Structure 1
Amino acid sequence: MDDHDDLRGSVREPAARTALAELAGRLTTGGDHPWQVALVDQHAAEVRDALLDAAGRLPVVRLAAYADGVLDSAERRGWRLDESGATEWPMLRLRAICALLASAV
């Protein structure tokens, strides 16, 4: 069983929101250095731009599915959430995804 099985099949908004909130609680925070905050902000902008729907909204289900894809892809390459550094690409991307949760619909 993968660490993120609860993200799979999150076809409903409440389940997707809960899964992302739980994921956020497991992520390495990474510090408050301005360059680290900027990296997460850049990732968040890329994710938001890629996932907006036709009405300009960010669907939380789409956000959860994307998080699941990032986790799957990274794990296939040997990356592990519980063993990662704060500035590794998957961690930055996942932190950005979780940061977008508040603005998702």
Structure 2
Amino acid sequence: MYGRTGDDRNRHSGLLTSLMVIAVFLIVGAILLFNRNGFVAITRIQSQVDSLRRENESLESRIDSLENTILLLESDSSYMEKRVREILGWGRDNELIIRFTEPKN
């Protein structure tokens, strides 16, 4: 009467097997999630890829704008004159150029 019955042993054996299966699944799941090629790493890398794509698009837009400016400077003398006047403050003969500066405090 003091010993375990067959039902108790089967129940404990089944419980132990279930716990081992759950432990294996948890370990495999943790490895799949958190290793260097796991889900968390892939999500982080995908976020970086998306950020770099947005930066690329912005830079491509800037390149297009600069290429248009170069084309205008090479082919449109009135545009070139306008930019020279704006950037260098140049003027034509007999023109008076007035420059406004911020007062120094």
| TM-score, normalization by structure 2 | 0.22
Q: Which structure has more helix as a fraction of its residues? A: 2
| TM-score, normalization by structure 1 | 0.22
| Structure of higher CA gyration radius | 2
